[in-house]
Structure 1
Amino acid sequence: MDKTQTSARPEVPHLPARDAGALFAEHALLPGGWARDVLLRWDAGGRLVCAAPGSDAGDAPRAPGPVVPGMPNLHSHAFQRAFAGLTEYRAQAQDSFWSWRDLMYRFAARISPESLQAIATWLYVEMLEAGYTSVCEFHYVHHDQGGRPYADDATLSLALLRAARAAGIGITLLPVLYQASGFGGRPPRADQARFIRSTDNMLSLLERLAPATRAQEAVLGLAPHSLRAVPPDSLRAAVQGLTALDARAPIHIHVAEQRQEVDDCVAWSGQRPVQWLLDHASVDARWCLVHATHMTPEEYAAAARTGAVAGICPTTEANLGDGIFDMPLWLRHGGRWGVGSDSHACVNAAEELLMLEYSQRLSLRQRNVLAGSGQPQVGTALWLAAVQGGAQAAGRAVAGIAEGQQADFAVLDPRHVALAGLPAEAMLSAHVFASSRGTALHGVWTGGVQRVAAGRHALHERAAQEFVAARAAIIAA
């Protein structure tokens, strides 16, 4: 293992004790569709032990509006929330993902453990208020501002765990393996020094983080950053090492996000990125292929057959000019998918679904593209599919309102002007397509604990103030 590791044990952030509870919903969105008079009961561990339609309320409190499953956010770079809005100006003749990335690296160079925790805490509060109940944190800023490991090598990872615990959001922590600046193992750039780890060092970090994630009921996985950043031998060794630690641990990777990435991969290997990955790695249902924007029809079919989840980040992909994922083709092959807020230019589960559907409409010049054959309501079809795929990518029991799953759900606000007087299924569509989206949720629960009431998280004011202060300090630096 890398000798930069210290022998100190990482802090183990335990969860507080919880109580069993119940809620009665006149309308609830179950995995099979909308149901009436649903009694929800959960145990002290926050797992649903009852999700029974056609029930009496009994002594359970009544939900003020329709209940929908909480949305997993399958792709997050938390520190980038403080960067949102700072690049919306033209810096060169033609701006691109790559010019945006250079600016982002400059911002990442100034992140401290304290600022990361403040930024992530506010971000996770925002997520909960917007209907996300769990997050997959693709975490690649590992070292200090000089690129040296902290005395406790888990320092920044633990800051993210503390932020998730404070906000009350479920987390899948995905430390990122990053070793090269381009295909063929090109040496890393100076401004990537905070990201770089050897494979042995990464596996050592995972071993040290395992107790902390278990204590927090979090999931620990691995994120090989991309094929351009992780050479083939390292990718193979890292996946083997992770599997030895936990054969079910999720694996997330950026792939085929940009056309230049595709061209560079072809120049290096003679294959496109998704094609190369499928030929050289045992991709299966543990994997999340983040973006996968630029695939051939053959790649769509082959990738879908693996059972991997496509991690679609519609607002970030629009913000960065990535392109449009061909969702109808993916679905034709039985592909699974979920949504993430990625760079956090937008933090709203409904907004991602709206952008996803609208991008397909603009591309195909059709309406209601992603309604399912058995589910004509687009909002309902989108919500259920994104919950299922996001849960798979997270490796957590958050696949919807069903026995054995976490009691993670949101209650729509029936008094919101965009929702008032509508049937339950139309309320969800109005939340996605016809409201200001961030205001149409009344309450949010994770693990049976109410985190958001009347649209606000208890930490809203304090977390917002600490976020603003952290961002100001970074900009001043």
Structure 2
Amino acid sequence: MSSLSVSADYLWQAGAWGAGEALGISSRRFGASTGAAERVGRFVLPGMPNLHSHAFQRAMAGLAERRGPGEDSFWTWRETMYAFAEAIDPDDMKAIATQLYVEMLKAGYTQVCEFHYLHHGPRGVPYADPAAMSLALIEAAKEAGIGLTLLPVLYMTGGFDGRPLTERQQRFRHDVGSFVSLLERLAPLQDDMFTLGIALHSLRAVPEDAMRSLLATGIARSLPIHIHIAEQLGEVQDCLAVRGARPVEWLLDHADVDPRWTLIHATHLTAQETHRLATSGAVAGLCPTTEANLGDGLFPLAAFIDAGGTFGIGSDSHISVSPVEELRWLEYGQRLVTRHRNVAARSAEESVGTALWQRALHGGARAAGADVGQLAKGSRADLLVLDDTSPLLAARGEAEVIDSFLFAGNTPLVRDVMVGGQWRVRDFTHAAEDAVAKAYRGVVERLAAA
């Protein structure tokens, strides 16, 4: 790969705008500038990591918005999702994920953490290659050109009481031995664009002895660990009934939760749990558009930040694919419940936009287990160029630009996107988007007709 150098009027480095030196790029990473630098724009930001994705759910976005016979909730939505997932095969997964990953790049995401539990064929029959679905996601990320943290999911039981999985859940099933075999199959494929991690689906889906057994294996000792937790009040109540503690409380008491961990949602927390989670160093994985769509509730953002907590954002079910919208609604949800403004800014004169963007960069990079999220020597060369010709950024200097980027409207402002030193989006266009969209449409039309 040839080396190059890029420059801009303002680079977002170490949490602030600076007019710093040009960025040299070689072997997919930022380094010292060599030769004349290409000026790429006025404002250049690090690419945003998306710390939580279920790629196949992109194809069902909008299909669960019709009211059922009773009160709808996460649990009724889940049945719609299970029915949709039944027909997806590895080729379908690749087409859906590639379309999604192109959309992510155009929105400003440059790394995605794929929380992947659709492992097997219908009724749980394994594919000839048990890694077929995982490999489809890896190929989709390569085709789109996005960084991937693949998080194969351990999913064993249907509830805290240890009930067996339903027929629809059989596609998700692994025991600890087969799960470790999958990790060992995938680990040698890692490179600058692909990182492997581990996901425990949830406390209700992974018994305590299985969690302990998995985390004691050699392959699990250095990988990022993600888990769904405390998303729904029903989950909290069931955990209390069976394990005698709330989900986050129980996890913190029974596992060595540290900065390798990402707790997805963690919506329903007591003040003590909030403080303990913040001081553990674990990342809170917040998905505001999905959490709103499913009626989950609101994360205690201000208290978590004040306790020193780290968070990142994810698009989860992909009813929206936009870091702008995730961060906007993270802040707006807090405003609605507290009836105050500028909640994420915790000190006088602090910018809400810059506080949200920088915190999400930091938390997302940690959750991804990858050296991303910063314009710094040694980091992977990912960057976003904002459209400084847009009316939304007219008369905006460095003090206002991120606030305007996040809060001034819905016109896309990410003009160009680089990942690993390669331009993936230029002038709002991904080179493969037409072909990718055609393949995606074919898959969705066939699934709809099935």
Q: What is the CA-CA distance between 1:236 and the residue it aligns to? A: 0.9
Aligned residue number for residue 27 of structure 1: 10
Q: Which residue identity does 2:69 align to in structure 1?
A: Q
Q: Provide, for residues 229-261 of structure 1, a one-character-per-residue CA deviation record: whole Å limited to 9, x for no partner.
A: 0000111111122xx125321000000000000
In structure 1, how many angstroms separate the alpha carbons of the residues matched to 2:13 and 2:347? 17
Query: Counterparts of 2:329 and 2:337 in 1: how far apart (Å)?
Result: 12
Structure 1 runs not aligned, ≥5 long = 1-17, 52-56
Partner of residue 251, structure 1: 225
C-alpha displacement at 1:32, in angstroms? 3.3
**Secondary structure in 2 matching 1:135:** strand
Q: Tell me what 1:378 maps to.
A: 352
Equivalence map 1:298-317=2 (5 Å): 298-317=272-291
Secondary structure of 1:391 counterpart: helix
1:247 alignment partner AA? R
1:435 partnered with 2:429: no
Q: Provide Cα deviations, 1:304-344, integer angstroms capped at 9, x if missing partner.
A: 11100000000000000000001001011100000000000
> Matched residue of 1:223: which SS?
strand
| 2:164 counterpart (187, 196, 216) | 187
1:125 aligns with 2:102: yes
Equivalent in 199, 207, 213 of residue 231 of structure 1: 207
8 A Cα contact 1:130 1:347, kept in partner: yes
Q: Identify which of 378, 383, 404 aligns with 1:409.
A: 383
Tell me if 1:146 matches 2:123: yes
**Alignment-mate amino acid for residue 31 of structure 2:** V
| Cα drift, residue 375 of structure 1 | 6.6
Residue equivalent to 1:222: 198
* 8 Å CA contact 2:373, 2:382 repeated in 1: no
Secondary structure class of the residue paired with 1:172: strand
The residue that corresponds to 1:15 in the other structure is none
Q: For the residues of structure 2 that align with 1:21 and 1:58, how far apart are their CA atoms?
A: 8
Alpha-carbon contact 1:250-1:286 (below 8 Å) kept: yes
Residue from 439, 445, 449 that aligns with 1:466: 439
Deviations along 1:86-139, whole A, 9 cap, x unmatched?
A: 011101221000000000000011111111000000000000000000000000
**Partner residue of 2:449?**
476
Q: Is contact 1:174-1:222 (8 Å) kept?
A: yes
DSSP-derived class of the 2:384 partner: strand
Instruction: Please name the residue that 1:293 is paired with.
Output: 267
1:328-384 CA distance string (max 9 Å, x none) = 010111000000000000000111000101011111111111124387221111111
Whether 2:23 is the aligned partner of 1:49: answer no
1:194-229 deviation line (CA, Å, top 9, x unaligned): 0001110000000011122x2464111110100000
Distance 1:314 1:417 in 2: 27
Aligned residues of 2:334 and 2:343 also touching (Cα < 8 A): yes
**Contact 1:375–1:381 (CA<8 Å) still a contact in 2?**
no
* Structure 2 residue 261 is matched with structure 1 residue 261: no
Structure 1 residue 147 displacement after superposition: 1.3
Q: What RMSD, in angstroms, separates the aligned Cα atoms of the two structures?
A: 1.4
TM-score (norm 1): 0.92
AA at the equivalent of 1:459: A
| Contact 2:215/2:221 (8 A) holds in 1 | no
The match for 1:356 is: 330
- How many angstroms apart in 2 are the aligned matches of 1:424 and 1:343? 33
Residue type of the alignment partner of 2:345: A
Q: 1:421-474 CA distances to partner (integer Å, 9 max, x unpaired)? A: 31134222212111215x211101111111000011111111111111111111
Farther off after superposition, 232-241 or 103-112: 232-241
Against the structure 1 CA distance between its residues 216 and 49, is the aligned structure 2 distance closer, same or farther, given a 3 Å change threshold? closer
Residue of structure 1 aligned with 2:60, choices 66, 71, 83:
83
- The structural deviation recorded for 1:399 is 3.2
What percentage of residue pairs aligned between the two structures are identical?
50
Deviation at 1:65, TM superposition (A): 2.6
Q: Is the 8 A contact 1:184 1:231 kept in 2?
A: no
Say yes or no: does 1:175 pair with 2:152. yes
Kept after mapping to 2: 8 A contact 1:26/1:38: no
SS of 2:215's partner is helix
Partner of 2:427: 454
Equivalent-residue separation in structure 1 for 2:317 and 2:3 (angstroms): 36
In structure 2, runs of 5+ residues without a counterpart are none
